[in-house]
Chain A
Amino acid sequence: MDRDVVEHALEHAMGYDVEYAEARAHSAVSEQIILRNGALEAYGQSVDSGFNIRVLAEGGLGFSSTNRWTMEEAEAVAETAYRLARASGRRTKLEFSEMESNEADWRVGEKAKIRDVTPESKIALLGGIDKEVASCGVDVPSRMIQCFPAQIEKYFVNSEGSRIASYLPRLACFILITVKEGAKTEQAGRQFGYSGGWEAFDLWNVPEELVHESQVLQRLMRKGKPLKPGKTTLVCGTEVVGIAAHESCGHPMEADRILGREMAQAGRSFIYQGGLYWLGSRIGSDLVTIVDDPRVENSYGFYEYDDEGVKARPRYLYKEGVINEFFHNRETAAMMGIDSNGSARATNYDREAIVRMANTYLLPGDMTEEELLEDVKEGLYMRSFTEWNIDDRRFNQRYVGRESYLIEDGELGSPVSKPTIELTTKSFWSAVDGVTKDLRFDAATCGKSDPMQGIPVYTGGPIIRLREVYMK
């Protein structure tokens, strides 16, 4: 990464009549390792490196990117971004919120450096995972393992004097399994993510997790029974809490959705000014405090400064059941007359930084899992989910259980096949009457923006109990 080219692009952009300009470079050394049923389908290695210029001029935004690292190209993209900004012809002029300039050079360490682990070792480790699943005593006829190690270097400069350099190694692993029992099949997908080095595999316990999934699916096909529809007590495991926190708290609290900028793609929000829900509105019980914190150590969504150079900090989204704080970048913050809370993220140099989550989770309470379960006479424990979705206002959602059990007199009973909850955001969070002190995270890839930007995040939380919710 040639920082002089980045600086030159910024200088050139500042030579035009601009209100603001920034240059952001992004270089990633990436690998893609794909195993199907233990055989290496393909091993890919690539280096992607480029930079963009974003310019605010005459109240319009222009963006241009390239992967040609020359001074001439830097000038060309700066000129293009300026021309595009001016051509916007906006009646309402865009502004960016105020911020102090920042200078920083942050890095995430690796106990086992990704680049020091040989391809043979990487293949051997993934092959070992496959072998353990294949030989676990359950018929798993289809096993797909994909691993994506990446080393990401960024350099951000803007016309206000910010200079942020960073290095972030990141590991992602996606595994899909199909389990067979007679003529029946069940499937599960698991994702693992980490910011740091190859030591992630020591922490993830992938073989144990996958063998457990295989056994759960087999048991489900052998013994799972459908749930009798009706109102009941629902205990949600951390994976279910995490997806609900992400989908029905994180997304509707993104200010760009609230303001309509994503209206034609990822949609809007049930929260809007003049509507039923706004800052200060109650959306859940007092036990519901949902936080997003990019600084969770080694998290999949980790960053110290966002992609507009704003220092990261935790955001208290729902606080004790009340809508408290939206996610902002500098564009949306200016529209609401406040400061950015450091939520601007981009997946690459050829994508604009937009409002994103990082690591969204429900704050733990003070109960143990045993205490949570002991006064449930009849209920259902949904430990993990399979199908889920939510409307584009983030209000009407559905989760179908993967590993689920009946609860009878505080004890876990027989497995339940595909229990389904379909309810509104307010119904879900208002029904929470118990929260454990556990906290567990799962990795996910959050989809948003056009062109699509799949961004790494954690979802998570403790185990929670919901009373009197309709299930089928």
Chain B
Amino acid sequence: MTDLMDRTENLVKKAKALGADEAIAKTSFSRRTQVRFSNNEVDITKVWNDYLTEVTLTWQKRVVATEIRNFAEAEKRVEDLFGLAKVSQPNPFYGGVASGSFSYPESGADKRLAYLEEPTAYVEAAMEAAGEEVPRDLNAGGALFANYEDVYLVSSEGPMGRDARSAIELSIRAFSEKEASGHGVSCSSTLDEFDPVMAGRKAGEIAWLARSPVAGEEGSYEVVFDPLIAGSLLGRIAQMASAFFVMIRFSVFVDKLGQMVAPEYVTLLDNAAPYSVENRLFDDEGVPISEKAIINCGVLKTYLHNTSTAKQFNTETTGNAGLVVPQPWNIEMEPGSMGREEMFAEVNKGLYLTNTWYTRFQNFVTGDFSTIPRDGAFVLEDGEIVGSIKDIRISDNVLRMLKGIKSLTEERQRIHWWESQFPTLSPYMLVEDVRITRPR
């Protein structure tokens, strides 16, 4: 594979020879497998092989980029790209890319995920585990996804690195009735920590508990958020910490650096840790990945930056490039000290929500939004589940909800699935005074 590194480096040299001020090339070769299933059967199995080189170059503050999938054309495409830069326009906000020489640790990627043997066996294991919790009429569906990717990055400003990234995840939704379902996920960077049985068991347990739901009632509730729904919401919150989102004012964090945005026991990190399905050694500028607190003890500490956005905010890159849009890699909410049962026992009258989808904002600056819980939703009384409900909506404000976090569990779960764009490590969260609405 050093051949791929050489080819990647040659493109950077070519761009510089043409006159580019800066050039970054990243070549990736990914092998991905997916099994999709529904109605307790496999629907389709897919394998993708993708070869891709992304080249970004700058010339007199003009930023241009291309994707090359045919290496035979690569040099010509770089020439065309430099031509595009010459007729393009300067970006006065542009602040450069990272420079220097970095060293990276060895990747711990799991090579077995490049060509997953008998992928349907994992699906069957998950469905069987769900079936043990749903003694009759189980209907399960979902997806298994495995990825192994070789990445070669070369920057004219010094960084040069090789990475291998791997991931395996299974998402299963189990139905015990047409309107009673549960969802479970298992995600890992390695096969060893992947547990499809756990995902299936959780989906089945919730589906069975959710039988015979009745319409929920409007009002304000104390709500226990399962790690699955907490993960979806935390991902959206972390995305709004991207400096680019802040600059275009699609963020609740505009002008809030240094302010308390959550109680002091809330700490939210970005950390592309080796366990994560978004594991990586460096960002798209070649800056080594590091753990950083977005919210530390309730205080908004930093936006997520690449070198250019950092310069605009008079700070340092956080290693979250995206060359245009910085992004979170893997969100971790620091655990609390409470056990799950202990948290449930805190609730005299409230709700336990297990999943959501369709989170939409009226106004990203104010944070007014709504989202629709799906799968098991339960009424809690004196810490016990006393009923299954449906047809409700959280119609609230994300800043208000952050400030309303009452407690967090010690237990955390890894969350990533179709609805959650960014992977998270999420505890159960107890939030007070959550506004619930329903159709009339």
Residues of chain A within 8 A (CB-CB) of B418 are 264-265, 450, 452
Interface flags, B16-57, vs A, CB<8A=1, else 0: 000000000000000000101011011111111111100010
Stretch at the interface among A105-113, A298-306, A390-398, A434-442: A390-398
**Complex-state Cα separation, A176 to B364, whole angstroms:** 11
**Considering the complex, which residues of chain B in the window 172-224 have a beta carbon less than 8 Å from any beta carbon of chain A?**
172-173, 175, 178-179, 183
> Are B88 and A187 in touch, CB under 8 angstroms?
no
Residues of chain B within 8 A (CB-CB) of A336 are none
**Complex-state Cα separation, A396 to B392, whole angstroms:** 8
Which of A85, A127, A176, A265 has the most chain B CB atoms closer than 10 A to its own CB?
Answer: A265
A90 at the A/B interface (Cβ < 8 Å)?
yes
Interface flags, B350-386, vs A, CB<8A=1, else 0: 0000000111111111101111101000000000000
Count A/B pairs, Cβ under 8 Å.
236
Residues of chain A within 8 A (CB-CB) of B41 are 88, 90-92
> Are A352 and B44 in touch, CB under 8 angstroms?
yes
Residues of chain B within 8 A (CB-CB) of A263 are 38-39, 139, 141, 173, 175
A350 at the A/B interface (Cβ < 8 Å)?
yes
**Considering the complex, which residues of chain A in the window 36-87 have a beta carbon less than 8 Å from any beta carbon of chain B?**
36, 39-50, 60-69, 77, 80-81, 84-85, 87
Residues of chain A within 8 A (CB-CB) of B68 are 46-47
> Are A450 and B36 in touch, CB under 8 angstroms?
yes
> Are A87 and B120 in touch, CB under 8 angstroms?
yes
**Complex-state Cα separation, A389 to B394, whole angstroms:** 11
> Are A352 and B363 in touch, CB under 8 angstroms?
no
Q: How far is the CB of B84 from chain A (nearest CB, A)?
A: 6
> Are B64 and A42 in touch, CB under 8 angstroms?
yes
User: Which bucket holds chain B's interface residue count?
Assistant: 35 or more
> Are A63 and B45 in touch, CB under 8 angstroms?
yes
> Are B87 and A389 in touch, CB under 8 angstroms?
no
> Are A260 and B139 in touch, CB under 8 angstroms?
yes
Residues of chain A within 8 A (CB-CB) of B371 are 389
A337 at the A/B interface (Cβ < 8 Å)?
no
Residues of chain B within 8 A (CB-CB) of A262 are 38, 141
B247 at the A/B interface (Cβ < 8 Å)?
yes
**Complex-state Cα separation, A268 to B357, whole angstroms:** 13
Instruction: Tell me the nearest residue of chain A to B65, going by C-beta.
Output: A44
Residues of chain B within 8 A (CB-CB) of A350 are 48, 50
> Are B175 and A387 in touch, CB under 8 angstroms?
no
B143 at the A/B interface (Cβ < 8 Å)?
yes
**Complex-state Cα separation, A369 to B428, whole angstroms:** 51
Residues of chain B within 8 A (CB-CB) of A39 are 89, 91-93
Q: How far is the CB of A56 from chain B (nearest CB, A)?
A: 10
Instruction: Tell me the nearest residue of chain A to B63, going by C-beta.
Output: A42
B249 at the A/B interface (Cβ < 8 Å)?
yes
Given known A43-B63, A48-B69, A261-B43, contact A418–B362 (CB-CB < 8 A):
yes
> Are B88 and A43 in touch, CB under 8 angstroms?
yes
Q: Name the one of A91, A123, A396 contacting B393, with C-beta atoms under 8 angstroms.
A: A396
> Are B438 and A66 in touch, CB under 8 angstroms?
no
B1 at the A/B interface (Cβ < 8 Å)?
no
Stretch at the interface among A316-324, A356-364, A370-378, A421-429: A421-429
> Are A264 and B88 in touch, CB under 8 angstroms?
no
B337 at the A/B interface (Cβ < 8 Å)?
no
A272 at the A/B interface (Cβ < 8 Å)?
yes
Given known A42-B324, A46-B67, A389-B393, contact A123–B47 (CB-CB < 8 A):
no
A120 at the A/B interface (Cβ < 8 Å)?
yes
**Complex-state Cα separation, A144 to B93, whole angstroms:** 14
Given known A61-B45, A66-B49, A264-B171, contact A396–B81 (CB-CB < 8 A):
no
A386 at the A/B interface (Cβ < 8 Å)?
yes
Given known A42-B324, A48-B67, A389-B393, contact A260–B38 (CB-CB < 8 A):
yes
Q: How far is the CB of B415 from chain A (nearest CB, A)?
A: 15
Residues of chain B within 8 A (CB-CB) of A424 are 439
B440 at the A/B interface (Cβ < 8 Å)?
yes
Residues of chain B within 8 A (CB-CB) of A42 are 56, 63-65, 91, 323-324
> Are A397 and B439 in touch, CB under 8 angstroms?
yes
Q: How far is the CB of B196 from chain A (nearest CB, A)?
A: 14
> Are A352 and B46 in touch, CB under 8 angstroms?
yes
Given known A120-B87, A263-B139, A264-B141, contact A36–B439 (CB-CB < 8 A):
no
Residues of chain A within 8 A (CB-CB) of B139 are 260, 263
> Are B70 and A178 in touch, CB under 8 angstroms?
no
Residues of chain B within 8 A (CB-CB) of A88 are 41-42, 44-45, 120
> Are B437 and A36 in touch, CB under 8 angstroms?
no
**Complex-state Cα separation, A50 to B43, whole angstroms:** 23
**Complex-state Cα separation, A258 to B107, whole angstroms:** 44
B interface residues with partner A (beta carbon < 8 Å): 34, 36, 38-39, 41-52, 56, 62-70, 73, 77, 80-81, 84, 87-93, 118, 120, 139, 141-143, 171-173, 175, 178-179, 183, 247-250, 323-324, 357-366, 368-372, 374, 391, 393, 395, 418-419, 437-440
Q: What are 7 A-B contacts defined by CB distance under 8 Å? A: A49-B69, A64-B47, A67-B50, A87-B120, A389-B358, A396-B439, A398-B437
Given contacts A267-B374, A423-B440, 17 further A-B contacts (CB under 8 A): A41-B63, A47-B70, A50-B69, A64-B47, A68-B51, A87-B45, A88-B120, A89-B120, A120-B87, A185-B365, A187-B250, A275-B178, A392-B358, A398-B437, A418-B368, A452-B418, A470-B440
Closest 5 pairs (CB-CB, A-B): A46-B67, A389-B358, A264-B173, A84-B45, A263-B141
